[in-house]
């Protein structure tokens, strides 16, 4: 098939909690345009705080669906004002905040199909296309009861993690659906289809309700993460026998268009009628698409610490744990993304900086470099907030590991003040390294690159410690983000259509994607050997921390 235009563009949209972002890339994957809408500032009539509404029930957090529709119109206006030629756009995809859900009414399909180009989206779809005017989002924590009921129905938290890639979490969609069914049966009965935020986004462009995408479906507690199909036991437990019809067809893989753009967009904004709509995914998978390929790890060193690990296809299935998430990969069949989330990231590092390094990163870095690798056997754990991994630990804990066979707890007064900056970096990174080994299948090829993002990724000393502990070359992410990942998914579907197939990695190799990030740290292999020997002592220390916290609360 020949392209209708010589210099095509690809649109990626990112609907996050606080705003809607649009990026355009060209056929080489180069970023050429960005626009954004901030919900609180640009659409203040909805009364959101950071894009969300809390309550009325305890733990309940939602966002108005009509606000998202208005944001679509507003961002198109801003793109047009910036001179974007919509006729050059040959593919659209994107991502939504994971886990959030949208509830369509019986009239939704008819209203989507008959969109009138002379009127804005919200005027035509809200409220009649929705059985619930507000969408539960990932910040919602009102479903603890439903989480326990789902785990009980499947045989426990580990059984659910083995099946879906995650234990039951309050923000996961199955538990949100179950709560709506319990507290608002009228709205649930009136719901014809349920979308994730991502598939809701695609539906607006298609003019029909889009299937849920396979990687984003991994964050629902409804899909078998290995077969990538809905599980009937989970559907029954969460939503009764009618949920199978409400959830729609089996999850859609990436890399192929769902259909062409609805005439509404051609007539109202000037899109090319040949523009294809690819499945939209979740924000975390889209970030992986933007920054890495299977064989890479992304470590976000922001307020929290998040590891996103691309696991290439392997003969042995990745191990599933109740303290991590396993997602299907958005572009590569039989590949996965493992995700580890830590609450105590930058906050804990900043507290150590303030207490032991005079509040300055320069002094913090000097102290790290003054101490030997392994910190002369001093190991410290710093949890100012209740942690996720390991779960529910809080406080500071210190150990001597100078004799690995005799690890013992010590008092903070026994730790040299100069040892704390290196101690927090080593314990935070050893926690991740100890789990990477367990998550990766035994026959998986070794990881190639560690891509750092977030505020601490600018710190050269932290980069080097990461390179040494993980034994990987370290690269730093640029401005790439979830929206660009969405645009790459659109380009990938177009590229495969143009070339009669091919892998995402082949497409990225052709445009030199791996060369755009700069290597900022090489591992010192002597140091890596020291850290390899500290993994088991670290695990022993962590087990002692978990036991101490459990005993303190029992």
pLDDT-derived band at 2, boundaries 50, 70, 90: very low
Threshold 0.85, pTM exceeds: no
% of the chain exceeding 70 in pLDDT: 96
Task: Over range 33-60, report the average pLDDT.
Answer: 94
Strands 9-15 and 305-311 turn out to be unpaired
State yes or no: pLDDT of 3 exceeds 60: no
CB contact at 8 A, 257 and 276: yes
pLDDT-derived band at 359, boundaries 50, 70, 90: very high
Q: Is 103 exposed, middle or buried (0-12, 13-18, 19+ CB in 10 A)?
A: buried
State yes or no: pLDDT of 1 exceeds 50: no
Q: Check: CATH 3.30.420.40 for 9-285?
A: yes
Residue range 292-343+438-521, CATH number:
3.30.420.40
Task: Over range 433-442, report the average pLDDT.
Answer: 82
Q: For position 516, what pLDDT does the model report?
A: 66
State yes or no: pLDDT of 234 exceeds 50: yes
State yes or no: pLDDT of 295 exceeds 90: no
Cα-based distances in Å from 475 to 366, 450, 458, 488: 22, 6, 11, 20
Cα 104 from Cα 392, distance rounded (Å): 37
Q: For position 342, what pLDDT does the model report?
A: 87
pLDDT-derived band at 480, boundaries 50, 70, 90: low
Structurally, what CATH architecture does the domain formed by 346-437+525-553 represent?
2-Layer Sandwich (3.30)
Q: pLDDT tens digits, residue range 68-118?
A: 999 999 999 999 999 999 999 999 999 999 999 999 999 999 999 999 999
Cα-based distances in Å from 313 to 189, 433, 441, 494, 540: 40, 21, 9, 24, 31
Helix ranges (H only) for 376-481 are 420-439, 460-470
- As a whole number of angstroms, the longest Cα–Cα distance in the chain is 75
Domain ranges for the chain: 9-285, 292-343+438-521, 346-437+525-553
Q: For position 366, what pLDDT does the model report?
A: 98
| Domains 9-285 and 292-343+438-521 belong to one CATH topology | yes
């Amino acid at each position: 098939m020949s392209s209708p235009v010589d210099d095509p563009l690809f649109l990626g949209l990112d609907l996050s909690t606080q705003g809607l972002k649009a990026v355009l890339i060209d056929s080489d994957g180069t970023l050429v345009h960005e626009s954004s809408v901030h919900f609180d500032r640009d659409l203040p009539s909805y009364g959101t705080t950071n894009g969300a509404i809390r309550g009325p029930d305890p733990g309940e957090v939602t966002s108005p669906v009509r606000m998202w529709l208005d944001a679509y119109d507003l961002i198109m206006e801003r793109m047009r004002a910036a001179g974007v030629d919509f006729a050059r756009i040959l593919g659209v995809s994107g991502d939504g905040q994971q886990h959030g859900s949208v509830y369509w009414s019986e009239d939704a399909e008819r209203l989507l199909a008959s969109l009138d180009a002379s009127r804005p989206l919200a005027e035509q779809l809200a409220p009649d296309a929705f059985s619930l005017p507000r969408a539960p989002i990932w910040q919602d924590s009102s479903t603890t009861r439903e989480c326990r009921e789902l785990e009980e129905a499947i045989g426990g938290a580990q059984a659910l993690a083995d099946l879906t890639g995650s234990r039951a979490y309050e923000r996961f969609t199955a538990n949100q659906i179950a709560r709506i069914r319990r507290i608002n049966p009228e709205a649930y009965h009136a719901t014809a289809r349920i979308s994730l935020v991502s598939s809701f986004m695609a539906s607006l462009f298609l003019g029909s309700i889009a299937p849920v995408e396979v990687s984003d479906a991994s964050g629902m507690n409804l899909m078998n993460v290995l077969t990538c199909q809905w599980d009937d036991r989970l559907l029954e437990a969460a939503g009764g026998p009618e949920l199978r019809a409400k959830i729609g067809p089996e999850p859609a893989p990436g890399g192929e268009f769902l259909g062409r753009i609805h005439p509404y967009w051609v007539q109202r904004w000037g899109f090319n009628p040949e523009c294809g709509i690819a499945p939209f995914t979740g924000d975390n998978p889209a970030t992986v698409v933007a920054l890495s390929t299977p064989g890479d790890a992304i470590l976000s060193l922001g307020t929290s610490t998040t590891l996103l690990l691309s696991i290439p296809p392997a003969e042995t299935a990745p191990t599933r744990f109740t303290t991590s998430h396993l997602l299907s990969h958005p572009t590569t069949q039989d590949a996965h993304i493992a995700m580890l989330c830590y609450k105590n990231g930058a906050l804990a590092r900043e507290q150590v900086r303030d207490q032991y390094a005079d509040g300055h990163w320069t002094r913090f870095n000097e102290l790290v470099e003054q101490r030997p690798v392994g910190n002369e056997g001093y190991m410290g754990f710093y949890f100012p907030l209740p942690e996720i991994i390991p779960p529910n630990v809080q406080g500071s804990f210190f150990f001597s590991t100078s004799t690995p066979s005799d690890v013992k707890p010590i008092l903070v007064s026994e730790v040299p003040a100069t040892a704390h900056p290196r101690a927090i970096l080593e314990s935070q990174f050893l926690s991740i390294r100890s789990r990477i080994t367990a998550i990766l299948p035994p026959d998986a090829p070794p990881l190639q690159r560690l891509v750092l993002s977030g505020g601490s990724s600018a710190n050269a000393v932290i980069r080097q410690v990461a390179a040494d502990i993980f034994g990987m070359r370290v690269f730093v992410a640029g401005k790439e983000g979830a929206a660009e990942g969405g645009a790459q998914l659109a380009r990938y579907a177009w590229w495969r259509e143009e070339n009669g197939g091919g892998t995402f990695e082949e497409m990225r190799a052709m445009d030199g994607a791996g060369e755009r990030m700069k290597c900022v740290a090489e591992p010192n292999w002597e140091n890596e050997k020291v850290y390899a020997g500290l993994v088991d002592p670290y695990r022993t220390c962590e087990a002692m921390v978990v036991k101490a916290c459990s005993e303190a609360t029992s």
